[in-house]
Chains A and B, each alone.
Chain A
Amino acid sequence: MNIVVAMKQVPDLQQVRIRNREPVFTDVPLVLGNIDKNALEAAVAIKESGDANVIALSAGNEDVEDTIKEALAAGADEAFLVLDDKLNGAESGVVAQVLAAAVKKIDDVGLILFGEGSGDNYSGQVGSRVAELLGLPQVAYASALELKGDKALVTRSLEDCTEIVEVTLPAVVTVLSDINEARIPSVTQILKAGKKPKEVLELDEVGVKIPPAASVVTVSNLAPETERKRIVVKSVAELIQSLTTEGVIGR
């Protein structure tokens, strides 16, 4: 059985700086989304306890060929990539079509794993959209995942409760970061990653066209203005004094 893990290349948010309230992306390195790494880890855990082949699936620009090495080092057996500059910042609807088309080209897919949200956009749509496009059942917000024959037992963690559900495979599951701790690959694994098989397709080859008009338009994307005093106090006494003056304690 193949387990497909959808992983998105995103700018390393720790390295994104804000200048005049605008985010600056120049020279920001590209990485795989954090939660996507948890999704991969969940797949690799299943592989290690049973029998499965893990395929990291990503849609993006050509840099993904490099970025995806991290997934191959962390336990993916193969990479399946759809690469095109037009996929830079493509919207959820388009990405979902591309990923769904790619999954159709892979045989014997039992599970398709997603992160609960991508590192940069964090909108939690792509997994659900792909499930619908493929007509598959889905369980989102998984904090535990276990395979049982042709079914998966998933713990779905909601705000006020957790549900344990059984879903028939093939299915889509999106995971929370709490599901596991993603492993950090060793040097040897990183070195071997370069030699693992990679299938690279272009946008035409999966038959998806980018629509001329975007369905979501961004008017602005600015850091909120925060004016903080940033007063350094030397002691608790001084702090209490200041807070009393502010009127926030001792009311």
Chain B
Amino acid sequence: MATFMIYSSKEKQALELITAAKSVGAAAVKAVCINDEAQANALAAAGAEVLLINNDAISLADVAAVASALGQVAAQLGADTILLSSDRRGKEAAGRLAAILDAGCLTDISAIKANGDKIECQRNALGGATVATQYIASDKKIIAIRPKTFDAPGAGSGSVNAMTVDVKASAVKLIETKTRGGDSVDIEAAEALVVVGQGLNSKDDLPAVEALAKKLGGEVACSKPVATDKKWLSEERIVGLSGKKCKPELAIILGISGQVQFTVGIRDAKVIVAVNSDENATINGMADYILTADMHDVIKEMNSSL
């Protein structure tokens, strides 16, 4: 029987990992918390056997120290199946820990399933064009699971025990942390999305887009370049491989060419509308309704008729 260990720097995601471990048959879940007593208590309240490391020498910004600590705990526990959250911190730690433990590692996992003694994992491959089902055959396994793949577990009665580890002097010094400015939108939760791409002429056209989203009872989302290159919308609103995977009832996609790295984030929507001035745009191949038109006209017209 595998010995499961979970870790995430974020409480919510750590809780999800408890559910994940249970879903593949973990009888007991060992959870590691680093310098975070609140998280330790929350995980214990959800049934995990928490190992709390309090060590000022470990900064989350120094993933070498984090991975080293996790490696030491895993060795002491005899843990062979380690679940991490596949957010950026989790992924950064995954590779490092995999090298320490000589483990096979899969990241960006969007589903896991026990099949005999194997844990079959699904992840997007080839930029999102395909979904690969893979399992780790080596003794030690590290699986990084995308946030929100699992719900939080119900209440349980766990425990919190202190754990000590030794880490090397850090070569990484945190100078400053800037929290992202204000946009706390959750496009993954929206029932309807109005998704705009580089077909949008200018930032000044955004109010009309927002008005439309509002009329549809949804949110505005975008392709990656609109947020990262043009900086017209926050990165919270990016749909796709490096953004969010959304499953709204309705997605109206305007001025987006439809490359796989984008479509992978929206292909589970119930109804997809593609509006593009190019009648041969790739996005049309994955739409339920195709309208070849200037997106600005369409937005205006929809706003006035809805």
Chain A contact residues, CB within 8 Å of chain B = 13-14, 16, 18, 21, 23, 91-93, 96, 119-133, 136-141, 153, 156-168, 171, 174, 177-178, 213-224, 226, 228-237, 239-240, 242-243, 246, 248-251
Select one of B102, B170, B241, B270 contacting A122, CB under 8 A: B241
User: Of residues 143 to 199 in B, which have CB atoms within 8 Å of A's CB atoms?
Assistant: 170-180, 192
Which 5 pairs of residues, A with B, have the shortest CB-CB distance?
A: A128-B95, A215-B104, A125-B95, A132-B99, A215-B138
Q: Is the CB–CB distance between B250 and A249 below 8 Å?
A: yes
A225 to B279, CA, bound (A): 23
Q: Is the CB–CB distance between A233 and B305 below 8 Å?
A: no
Q: Is the CB–CB distance between A92 and B95 below 8 Å?
A: yes
* Known contacts A92-B105, A168-B171, A243-B273: A216-B137 contact under CB 8 Å: yes
Give chain B nearest CB distance to A131 CB in angstroms.
Answer: 6
> B87-112 interface mask toward A, CB cutoff 8 Å, 1 = contact, 0 = none?
11101111110111011111110000
Give chain A nearest CB distance to B95 CB in angstroms.
Answer: 3
A49 to B292, CA, bound (A): 47
Select one of A16, A160, A249 contacting B129, CB under 8 A: A16
Q: Is the CB–CB distance between A162 and B177 below 8 Å?
A: yes
Question: Taking chain B's interface residues, is the majority helix, strand, or loop, or is none over half, making it mixed?
Answer: mixed
Q: Is B131 an interface residue (CB 8 A)?
A: yes
Q: Is the CB–CB distance between B286 and A226 below 8 Å?
A: yes
Q: Is the CB–CB distance between B99 and A219 below 8 Å?
A: no
Residues of B within 8 A of A213 (CB): 137-138
Q: Is B67 an interface residue (CB 8 A)?
A: yes
Give chain B nearest CB distance to A149 CB in angstroms.
Answer: 14
| Chain B interface extent, by class | 35 or more
A138 to B95, CA, bound (A): 11
* Known contacts A131-B64, A159-B88: A243-B250 contact under CB 8 Å: yes
Q: Is B61 an interface residue (CB 8 A)?
A: yes
User: Of residues 230 to 276 in B, which have CB atoms within 8 Å of A's CB atoms?
Assistant: 241, 249-250, 259-260, 267, 270-273
Select one of A121, A222, A231, A250 contacting B131, CB under 8 A: A222
Residues of B within 8 A of A221 (CB): 125-126, 130-133
Q: Is B44 an interface residue (CB 8 A)?
A: no
Q: Is B78 an interface residue (CB 8 A)?
A: no
Q: Is the CB–CB distance between B96 and A131 below 8 Å?
A: yes
A171 to B63, CA, bound (A): 12
Q: Is B288 an interface residue (CB 8 A)?
A: yes
A174 to B267, CA, bound (A): 29
> B109-134 interface mask toward A, CB cutoff 8 Å, 1 = contact, 0 = none?
00000000000100111110111111
Q: Is the CB–CB distance between A13 and B273 below 8 Å?
A: no
> B270-306 interface mask toward A, CB cutoff 8 Å, 1 = contact, 0 = none?
1111000000000011111111110000100110011
For A160, the closest partner residue in chain B by CB is B180
* Known contacts A137-B64, A239-B291: A18-B130 contact under CB 8 Å: yes
